[in-house]
Copies of this chain bind each other. A is one copy, B any other.
Amino acid sequence: MRIHGDKFKDECGVFGIAGHVDAARHAYLGLYGLQHRGQESAGIVSSDGVRLHRERGMGYVADVFSPEVLERLVGTFALGHVRYSTYGESTSANAQPILTESWRGPIAIAHNGNLVNAAQLRHQLEAEGAIFQSTSDTEVVLHLLARSSEENLDAALLDVLRFVRGAFSLLLLTPTRLYAIRDPYVVRPLCFGQMNGGHVVASETCAFDLIGAKYIRDVKPGEILSIGDDGLRSLTLGSSERRAHCIFEHVYFSRPDSLVFERSVHQSRHEMGRELALECPVAADVVVPVPDSGVTAALGYAEASGIPFDFGLIRNHYEGRTFIEPRQSIRHFGVKVKLNPVKRILSGRRVILIDDSIVRGTTSRKIVEMVRNAGASEVHLRISSPPTVGPCYYGIDTPTSSELIANNKTVRQIEEFTRADSLGYLSIEGLRKAVDAGSHFCSACFDQQYPIPLRIDSIQKELFEDGAETDATVEKAL
């Protein structure tokens, strides 16, 4: 049995380093710092200036890379990727970075996000005779690059990325350059930093802390950072007026010790908890987080409500691996492997249970039951984000609409389903306030307002009819 919470899954974390004598080992450490963004495969490609070297495998960063494996990743450039995926060899073909050869020579690519027109592009590329080694979006970009007649890769990227729609925090590695690219809507995070004269990029700043790199700034909307031994160039795909930072990064995905979208994740979560206390107060004895994701919001809730915070559920730290189940099934085994109640905190108490989100609701029901069995007299469930009603098309692995409990039930019905004494969600306004966000965030999973159109037929037409001759400026194309 593989133990996963009933959570949205982040698709990936990416890390790149250029101009460092110990590039692969730093990529390894950077990926280790991003392990929470993807725990099922890990890969690194390095460049020695002439050739690219790849190592990847299923499992944790610390298991995939041994000293011998890192030894083979020679060179001063490296690119790394961690991701979620499902089992089996078919998916090891999807493990990133992807590495291909074309007339441009070898290129490796690692991606966090999702291209909304990838299926269309793929369909058209296939119609023109392209063959694919994976089901990853990312391969589409490599095909487009191979088709572009621009000799120079900087120019080729400008040429082809205007046809790509969606959320993309992309890293590319050639034998001599590292590219860090972000979509004009800046949906997924991508940070830029420096260390010992080298340059680093990563999904979150916590990857910098471990290696002692200094955070400089985020990669900008529509920016292409092109990093070589000759230094750094910044190109632009043009930027959208609309910013669409993924608000769920602040709700759940990112680590609280990271700066994401130039804002402290901890601060956002703390504020979510405070807002939640104001919006959904209840008389109780203790505020208990569902660890680890509910912790910061629970602290905020406790602070705003004046009700004491305590760790009434202990998370098992060796969780996350495959588990062998007993032959006779144990009731709520999946939740028990992750969490254990502290009876002394819960027994005879009115408990406010704080979680960051409810996806299918089944896990929440089990946790409520676990807390009640530990003796709680009342269990009030409080969620530090609004009901999740919309699937994500920008790089998050969400269940289908029909599986999202909030899509099918009212808050009162969910309350009943979870058997909590009461249930309260943070409002969308409260959430926006907590991230101090105005219109900068995408919250489609909560409000189904999708900032990036999901079908863009006209663009494709242009691309495949006379992609080469188009003089449409990048700004216009967007």
Q: A333 — nearest CB in chain B belongs to which residue?
A: B210
Could you tell me if A130 and B133 are in contact, using CB atoms closer than 8 angstroms? no
How far does the Cβ of A250 sit from chain B's closest Cβ, in whole Å? 13
Q: Which of A111-119, A237-245, A309-317, A420-428 contacts B (4 or more CB under 8 A)?
A: A309-317
241-280 of chain A: CB within 8 A of chain B: 255-257, 264, 266-267, 270
Could you tell me if A326 and B102 are in contact, using CB atoms closer than 8 angstroms? no
Could you tell me if B143 and A129 are in contact, using CB atoms closer than 8 angstroms? yes
| A interface bracket (residues with beta carbon within 8 Å of B) | 35 or more
Q: Which of A51-59, A361-369, A409-417 contacts B (4 or more CB under 8 A)?
A: A51-59
How far does the Cβ of A371 sit from chain B's closest Cβ, in whole Å? 12
Could you tell me if B126 and A90 are in contact, using CB atoms closer than 8 angstroms? no
Could you tell me if A126 and B100 are in contact, using CB atoms closer than 8 angstroms? no
Cα–Cα distance between A130 and B299 once the two chains are bound (Å): 54
Could you tell me if B53 and A100 are in contact, using CB atoms closer than 8 angstroms? no
Interface centre among A63, A131, A292, A322, by most chain B C-beta atoms within 10 angstroms, is A131
Cα–Cα distance between A447 and B123 once the two chains are bound (Å): 50
Cα–Cα distance between A131 and B126 once the two chains are bound (Å): 12
**Taking the complex as formed, is A96 at the interface, i.e. its CB lies under 8 A from any CB of chain B?**
no
- Among B53, B72, B296, B330, which residue has its beta carbon within 8 angstroms of that of A211? B330
Could you tell me if A89 and B53 are in contact, using CB atoms closer than 8 angstroms? yes
- Specify which chain B residues have a CB less than 8 angstroms from the CB of A345 in the assembled complex: 266
| Contact bitstring A39-73, B, C-beta under 8 A = 1, else 0 | 00000000000010111100011110111001010
A127 and B100 contact, Cβ closer than 8 Å, known pairs A72-B89, A89-B55, A89-B56 = no
- Among B25, B54, B60, which residue has its beta carbon within 8 angstroms of that of A327? B25
Cα–Cα distance between A341 and B206 once the two chains are bound (Å): 9
- Specify which chain B residues have a CB less than 8 angstroms from the CB of A282 in the assembled complex: none
**Taking the complex as formed, is A161 at the interface, i.e. its CB lies under 8 A from any CB of chain B?**
no
Could you tell me if A206 and B340 are in contact, using CB atoms closer than 8 angstroms? yes
Q: A98 — nearest CB in chain B belongs to which residue?
A: B133
- Specify which chain B residues have a CB less than 8 angstroms from the CB of A327 in the assembled complex: 21-22, 25
Copies in the complex: 4
Could you tell me if B147 and A129 are in contact, using CB atoms closer than 8 angstroms? yes
Q: A314 — nearest CB in chain B belongs to which residue?
A: B257
| Contact bitstring A317-339, B, C-beta under 8 A = 1, else 0 | 11011111111101100001100
A22 and B257 contact, Cβ closer than 8 Å, known pairs A129-B102, A210-B337 = no
| Contact bitstring A99-135, B, C-beta under 8 A = 1, else 0 | 1111100000000000000000001001101111101
- Specify which chain B residues have a CB less than 8 angstroms from the CB of A264 in the assembled complex: 342-344
Could you tell me if A209 and B131 are in contact, using CB atoms closer than 8 angstroms? no
- Specify which chain B residues have a CB less than 8 angstroms from the CB of A127 in the assembled complex: 103
Could you tell me if A326 and B211 are in contact, using CB atoms closer than 8 angstroms? yes
A interface list, Cβ under 8 A from B: 21-22, 25-26, 28-29, 32-33, 35-36, 51, 53-56, 60-63, 65-67, 70, 72, 88-90, 93, 99-103, 123, 126-127, 129-133, 135, 139, 142-143, 146-148, 206, 209-212, 255-257, 264, 266-267, 270, 292, 295-296, 299, 303, 308-311, 314, 316-318, 320-328, 330-331, 336-337, 340-345
20 contacts between A and B (CB under 8 A): A26-B326, A32-B316, A32-B323, A35-B318, A54-B89, A72-B89, A100-B133, A101-B126, A101-B131, A103-B129, A129-B143, A130-B146, A209-B336, A211-B326, A212-B330, A212-B336, A256-B311, A256-B342, A257-B341, A264-B343
